[in-house]
Structure 1
Amino acid sequence: MDVAVGIVAQRGDERAQDLAAALIETLERAGDREGATVSVVVDDASGNAVDAPAVPVASMADRDFVVSIGGDGTLLFVAREVGSTPILGVNLGEVGFLNAVAPDDACDVVVDLLEELCDTGSLEGRALSRLEATGEGEWALEPALNELVVHGPRRGHGGGVTVETRIDGDCYAASHADGVLVATPTGSTAYNLSEGGPLVHPETDALVVTQMAATESMPPLVVDPDTELTISVSGADTAYVISDGRNRRRLEPPATVTVSLAPDPVQLVGPTGNFVTSLEKLEST
């Protein structure tokens, strides 16, 4: 059996690069035991430090699984690039909501995944919903694993916009605000939390709608993922919709953004983390 694996190490992190090298050796030895031919590539930023073929992360989308070594930010980057390809997260960060595997356990876990692939031909994982923003003119923003934000020309005094949020066609909130944030359960611990939104257990099937510094605010709202959710902006020359703090599209108000589930969720494989324990780490950061 041929098994193709990609490894992405946190950029500029020597510890991540050393672990990537150790994983390659481990996979090759395990492949010999399983009678499998294992092909491993690393991200092009790690190519000079790790003895393996180096490729752009986006080209790893056809791999059997991809190992992300770093913090949640590294895994978010990998997820954007490889879509629904199974991802194993190895945690080098402080909290690690997405990365459940400790560095000391990483070699054992990748061997388990290799054996599972050889035995069954596939990997069991956990699907994480992503959000997609679409608008007039048939544009669509890159899917977000954490959150989508619609805001005015800038955050802070004098930078807001008039925002109307509709839930299944009914107006939930209309106010001058910095913006509106829509988060997945995965993203409830990120930007949503800093804006006063609630924590949501990762296995909950829901989305969170949170206003940002609204003059006439409503409490954050938890809705069904299939809810028809639209956000309209006006009263400013410019507004933006941003996916996971990285990909953005400029809007020309008045404009309406529709938020819905993206068709392909992210697939996490390997052990799952303890959500409550991770929250305890969050309090100390």
Structure 2
Amino acid sequence: MSSLPSCRFRHAALVGKYQARGIRPVLEDVAHILARAGLDVSLERETAQNTGMTEYPPLTIKEIGKQCDLAVVLGGDGTMLAIARELAPFNIPLIGINQGRLGFITDIQLKDIATALPSILAGQYEEEQRAMLEGAVLRPMRGAGFETIYDGYAINEVVVSRGATASMVELRAEIDGQFVANYRADGLIVASPTGSTAYALSAGGPIMHPGLGGWVIVPIASHTMSNRPLVVSDDVTITIEIVAGRDASMNFDMQSLASLLHGDRVTVRRSPHKVRFLHPKGWNYYATLRRKLRWNEGVS
């Protein structure tokens, strides 16, 4: 039997969407591939606890960041977004195995694991770095000034939106201190190029190539038809002030939430961290768009 190519990595952490049916056998298959390639293998702690897998040591996210030089994520884009945000400060590359639906950033299909994963481990991959957003909520203090009450990172988007039972909100947007527009809408999305194929796309925003250094600001169901998506440089600070509306909130990648009050300001800027994705050799962004968005269906 021919020997496996030498591995470029030393210690891999395996992260799985443990709520998914039938996840354990797939996790075990992936772990065996990693071990056969010569890697030490660990499981993210919640993945280990919820699947009952005991063959590999469990690690917290912080421990993964300090001990591992690779993370393999099994799930959909939501699973990848959650773990990528936490691991970005550690600069660990990520491999995504798609067990969800769209899979824009988890691009290895389950049927291809046995061939695609060993090749990547041997160094046959395309590395891509994606920019992240850093958002914060600033609340006016009594007297003067603002205090930061919430902050976090997003890979796809930061969204300011109305409450579930409330009418539209009124928002004031500035870029680097310069007034841009007032928006009466259901909300406002600030999306990265990665997020331009997510919520921003469904709200009518453009698709941005991930190599572009920019953000897109997209109103959600704006009361004024002339309020259109706006593409801006990623070296600016975007400020969104809550002018009117009840029960407004802010979220990062549709996963974490902060309640907002009148006068609160949401700031969005480029994060100092980037996310590193490892794709199979020959991976192509436009082919991904074509496949996931079903372009050219029915065209011979």
TM-score, normalization by structure 1? 0.84
Q: 1:245 matched to which residue of 2?
A: 254
CA distance in 2, matches of 1:262, 1:140: 15
Q: 1:70 matched to which residue of 2?
A: 75
2:143 equivalent to 1:138:
no
Q: 1:207 matched to which residue of 2?
A: 215
2:55 equivalent to 1:48:
no
| Contact 2:31/2:41 (8 A) holds in 1 | no
Q: 1:90 matched to which residue of 2?
A: 97
Comparing 275-284 with 186-195, greater Cα deviation is found at 275-284
| Contact 1:131/1:144 (8 A) holds in 2 | yes
Count of residues in Structure 1 that have an aligned counterpart in Structure 2 = 272
Q: Which has the higher strand share?
A: 2
Look up the equivalent residue of 1:72 and give its one-letter code: D
2:242 to 233, 251, 275: 233
Q: Give CA deviations for 1:162-189 in whole Å, capped at 9, x if unaligned.
A: 1111123332221322211100111111
| Contact 2:133/2:154 (8 A) holds in 1 | yes
Structure 2 spans left out of the alignment, 5+ residues:
1-7, 139-145, 296-300
| DSSP 3-state at the match of 1:130 | strand
Q: 2:86 matched to which residue of 1?
A: 81
Look up the equivalent residue of 1:12 and give its one-letter code: Q
Offset at residue 245 of structure 1 (A): 0.9
| DSSP 3-state at the match of 1:249 | strand
CA distance in 1, matches of 2:13, 2:238: 36
| Contact 2:24/2:51 (8 A) holds in 1 | no
| Contact 1:89/1:100 (8 A) holds in 2 | yes
Offset at residue 258 of structure 1 (A): 1.2
Q: Give CA deviations for 1:255-278 in whole Å, capped at 9, x if unaligned.
A: 211110111111111324543443
| DSSP 3-state at the match of 2:212 | coil
CA distance in 2, matches of 1:124, 1:283: 23
CA distance in 1, matches of 2:54, 2:294: 35
Look up the equivalent residue of 2:185 and give its one-letter code: A
| Distance change in 2, residues 1:252/1:14 (3 Å) | closer
Alignment of 1:63-212 (within 5 A): 63-83=68-88, 84-116=91-123, 125-134=127-136, 135=138, 136-152=146-162, 154-155=163-164, 158-212=166-220
Supply the RMSD in Å over aligned alpha carbons: 2.6
| DSSP 3-state at the match of 2:65 | helix
| Contact 2:9/2:69 (8 A) holds in 1 | no
CA distance in 2, matches of 1:114, 1:38: 13
CA distance in 2, matches of 1:207, 1:21: 39
CA distance in 2, matches of 1:276, 1:125: 16
TM-score, normalization by structure 2? 0.80
Percent of paired sites with the same residue: 29
Offset at residue 126 of structure 1 (A): 1.4
Q: 1:120 matched to which residue of 2?
A: none
CA distance in 1, matches of 2:157, 2:180: 19
Offset at residue 280 of structure 1 (A): 4.0
Offset at residue 238 of structure 1 (A): 4.0
CA distance in 1, matches of 2:9, 2:220: 49
| DSSP 3-state at the match of 1:24 | helix
Look up the equivalent residue of 2:188 and give its one-letter code: V
Q: 1:34 matched to which residue of 2?
A: none
CA distance in 2, matches of 1:41, 1:101: 19
| Contact 1:176/1:214 (8 A) holds in 2 | yes
2:275 to 255, 266, 274: 266
